[in-house]
Amino acid sequence: MAIIKLSGLLTDIRGKIGGTVFKKTSGGLTMQNAYLGKKNISVQTNQSLTINSVLQTAWNNLTEAQQTYWTTWANFMQVGQRKNKSLFLTGYQAFLKVNFYFSFYGRTILTAPSFRKGHIEDVGFVPYLSAGDLLIDQGGVWEESSSILAMWISGTVSSSVNNIGSRMRMINKDVALAGDYDITDEYVSLFGALPSAGDTLFFRYMIIDELSGQLYPFVTTKVNIVSI
């Protein structure tokens, strides 16, 4: 904070100008930097920033041949950019996208994805009750190298709800596609009790091809719980 003296051309000045605040005190007119405040960053945002920083360093540490490999892979896969699907990801962008999800969900960085386009059809995950347990029916036809990268589920909601918003909770990650999956303990720990037959909830999952790094879009479904 500094005390300033006005000239004959300027007799008074107060308030904020740019990043400076002028204020009259008992000692005279003072000038100090404006307090901009501190923006709080969520844990998830901070984690994302950290991962992106690590991946940028990892990309720079790749050999020229490895970077060229990713560029060739990106041209083969032709994944559209988020804001403009007519523009495909570059090798650098593809490396960041694939490995962001790998890193965020606890995988090691993928440096050499295979040249293959996976295919999944007739997907129909359905949570259901059986003998007092809550299971996920892993229906559908899967590539042998595919697995669930992450799953989310909600507590029970009114059947009239069509948008669950941010009320879903992750229940597991890195799940092999082999048989039904028991989520009883995880669900109870999150929501206190299992749903009953006839209750409505939301279920979301994301599938990844382990060999190519291909990420399938998030799928969110609204489910009426049945008991088998």
Instruction: Please report, as a single letter, which amino acid is at residue 162.
Output: N
Whether residue 65 is predicted with pLDDT greater than 90 in this model: the reply is yes
| pLDDT at residue 104, rounded to an integer | 84
Query: Residue ranges per domain, the chain?
Result: 2-33, 43-104, 126-224
Distance CA 151, CA 149 (A): 7
Q: Which residue has the higher pLDDT, 191 or 150?
A: 191
Listing DSSP states for 121-182 in one string gives: BS---EEEEETTEEEEE--SB--TTEEEEEEEE---B-TT----TT--EEEEEEEESSS-EE
| The model scores a pTM over 0.75 | no
Where does residue 31 fall: left (phi above 0), alpha (psi -120 to 50 degrees), or beta otherwise?
beta
What pLDDT was estimated at residue 196?
92
CATH class, range 126-224: mainly beta
Identify the pLDDT of residue 13: 61
Angle between helices 64-77 and 91-104 (to 10 degrees): 90
Integer Cα distance of 33 and 31 in angstroms: 7
| 149 compared with 226, residue with greater pLDDT | 226
Instruction: Tell me the pLDDT tens digit for each residue of 84-142.
Output: 777 888 999 999 988 998 888 777 888 888 887 665 555 567 788 998 899 887 665 55
